[in-house]
Amino acid sequence: MTNINHITAMSELRAALKKFSQERDWEQFHTSKNLAMALSVEVAEIVEMFQWLTSDESETLNPEQSLHLAEEVGDVMIYLTMLAAKYNLDPIECARSKMVKNSRKYPAKPK
């Protein structure tokens, strides 16, 4: 079941990203290839944040690290949303569908 708040939030994000890109004439650069590459770079920036931290350190980020992570997560969401929009995909619905598929493929063990 789709949540109406989710639909509104995703629609608003898509519209805001489209407007932002149009105002700067950036849509010409937002090919599927370029968006996928940019998404990969932003994910790599998150990986780089954690690269040399111990497992314990990675679970307790300081405020500066948390802010940096939030910014990178924002970048990832932006590029993912823009790429998905090119194919009329809703990332939240894609994740839900994949979770259903994964639950069938990897059923929980009874306790």
Q: Using pLDDT thresholds of 50, 70 and 90, give the confidence band for residue 6.
A: low
Region 2-7: what's the mean pLDDT? 65
pLDDT tens sequence across 81-100: 999 999 999 999 999 999 99
20 vs 95: CA distance, rounded Å: 26
DSSP state of 68: H
- CATH no. for 4-105: 1.10.287.1080
Q: Using pLDDT thresholds of 50, 70 and 90, give the confidence band for residue 108.
A: very high
Rg of the chain's alpha carbons, rounded to an integer? Answer: 17
C-alpha 9, offset from chain centre: 14
66 vs 9: CA distance, rounded Å: 23
Every domain of the chain and the residues it spans: 4-105
pLDDT tens sequence across 49-71: 999 999 999 999 999 999 999 99
**Per-residue CA distances from 54 to 73, 81, 94 (Å):** 21, 31, 32
Percent of the chain with pLDDT over 90: 87
At 77, the amino acid letter reads M
Average pLDDT over all residues of the chain:
94
Tokens read off for 16: 């805001």
Region 98-108: what's the mean pLDDT? 95
Q: Using pLDDT thresholds of 50, 70 and 90, give the confidence band for residue 75.
A: very high
